[in-house]
Chains A and B, each alone.
Chain A
Amino acid sequence: MAVQGILTVIKFVVIAIAILVLGLITSWIDRKVTARIQARVGPPWFQPIADILKLLGKETLVPEGAGRNVFLYAPVIGLAGMALAAALLGNALISPEVGFVGDVVVLVYLLVIPAIALIIGASASGNPMAAVGASREMKLILGYELPYLIVIATVIYKTGFTLKLGDIVETQALDGWNLWSISGVIGFFILLLSAQAKLGLVPFDIPEADQELMGGVITEYSGPPLALIRITKTMLLAVLPLLMVTLLMGGVQFEGLSILWGFLKYLVIVVLIVLIRNTNPRVRIDQALKFFWGPVTALSIIAFILAYWGL
């Protein structure tokens, strides 16, 4: 029993590291595609790794008047939540049978932890820019979380009330992808937009707003804590498209060539995210909130009703 437990822990760690590597590759793809869109050459392949290594080697500064412990532990908590979410999702993809009922719900909770940890850390830093960033991040979470949850509920409904990631994948293997229906297509776009907001990429990079808030929530972070935040963001960049592949596009199979097919599905979503990021200006926080609570939530409710009608 104990050996089993240790093996599971090792497996989870390995999966989390694998997802981090996938995230590093994705973040290079993101920067390279961005560069090509702007007719540039773009960074070399090791750029995301170099960024993180460099930050790990730098000095950690704690601003005067900051809550020292909260400020320094917030990124660790964020990374812990993120790593657990990554391990849970990866585990469900590699061996669909071992999950537990309700792991979708746990995953949804875990995915909010990095954002909340950032809010706590930013509030503890005692910087007005970070405070504004934290308040914006909070509003943004309230905005995107609602349609996101409704879409996930739609997917759960469509697969016959399965609350297990592995079962969602298996149901799709039998009945075809969730994407191939009107409600699936609507859900896909809503998940895409929410992923954009969760990642803090351009139309919704309001909390970090480089031009007005100088990095917003991460203004005061330097050195290793900033590296942890980067790692968390990198993993999120891999986990969100993977979650979309799992929920709507039949997951990733790990036998032979089908792993390439799985990677292709993943890549399509990543490139879509990058394209949205490069072709849109940033919106204001009130516009973002109106957008998510107005049309997007309405669409997600319509998707749910369509799913109820079997469309």
Chain B
Amino acid sequence: MSLTRWALKKSPWVYHVALSPCNNCDIEILDLLTPRFDVERFGIKLVGSPRHADALLVSGSVNRHVLPRFIELYKQTAKPCVVFGIGSCALSMTMFRDSYNTVGPLDKVVKEIDPNAIIAYVPGCPPKPEAMILGVVKALQTL
């Protein structure tokens, strides 16, 4: 395992991408970053610019309106990066699946932009912060 890979696992900086969620997932993500869960133990830090990010925390079902923004955002992120689908919306679009404006589950969208993308899911509606920590740790172990 190379040194930079080790460092990537030890210091994943996350960027929060809200692709038309119902806002509950976002609140749980912000919860995750509060002192109570102390994700800095794992080196996780919220950054303000996708250029600095190693992981994109994506919540919500992707719809036509946000798709071009998301594509641009993904291209702006420095690789290697991991895309996390947070919540059932990103995973399976839940009740929005037959909606006229929904374009598809997150993995399909991301694979269209970049076939080699690393994608991980954290199910739940919304998932608990503990579940998200578990998801991030598990996904990083497979790197």
Contact = CB atoms under 8 A, between A and B. Distances in A.
Contacts of A54: 4, 7-8, 10-11, 54
Interface in A193-234: 210-211, 213-215, 218-223, 226
Interface string A27-60: 0000100010011111110110111111011111
Given A31-B40, A35-B38, A51-B11, A221 B4 contact: no
A60 B78 CA distance: 7
B3 interface: yes
Give chain A's interface residue range (CB within 8 Å of chain B): 35 or more
A46 B10 contact: yes
Nearest to A51: B11
B38 A40 contact: yes
Give chain B's interface residue range (CB within 8 Å of chain A): 20 to 34
Contacts, number: 91
A271 to B, nearest CB: 19
Interface string B37-58: 0101101000111011010000
Contacts of B80: 58-59
A59 B54 CA distance: 11
A14 interface: no
Contacts of A35: 35, 38, 40
A61 interface: yes
B10 A222 contact: no
A49 B52 CA distance: 16
A31 B41 CA distance: 11
Nearest to B79: A59
Interface string B10-26: 11000000000000000
Given A40-B40, A47-B43, A58-B79, A210 B7 contact: no
A221 B11 contact: no
Given A31-B40, A58-B80, A219 B4 contact: no
Contact of A211 (B3, B6, B40, B48): B48
Given A54-B10, A58-B78, A43 B40 contact: yes
A226 B54 CA distance: 13
A39 B36 CA distance: 8
Contact of B51 (A31, A52, A61, A210): A61
Interface in A43-88: 43-44, 46-47, 49-54, 56-61
Given A43-B41, A58-B78, A220 B10 contact: no
Interface of A: 31, 35, 38-44, 46-47, 49-54, 56-61, 210-211, 213-215, 218-223, 226
Interface of B: 2-8, 10-11, 35, 38, 40-41, 43, 47-49, 51-52, 54, 76, 78-80
9 contacts: A41-B38, A47-B40, A47-B43, A50-B6, A51-B43, A53-B7, A59-B80, A61-B51, A220-B49
The 9 closest A-B CB pairs, nearest first, are A57-B4, A214-B48, A53-B7, A54-B7, A222-B78, A222-B51, A50-B10, A40-B38, A38-B35
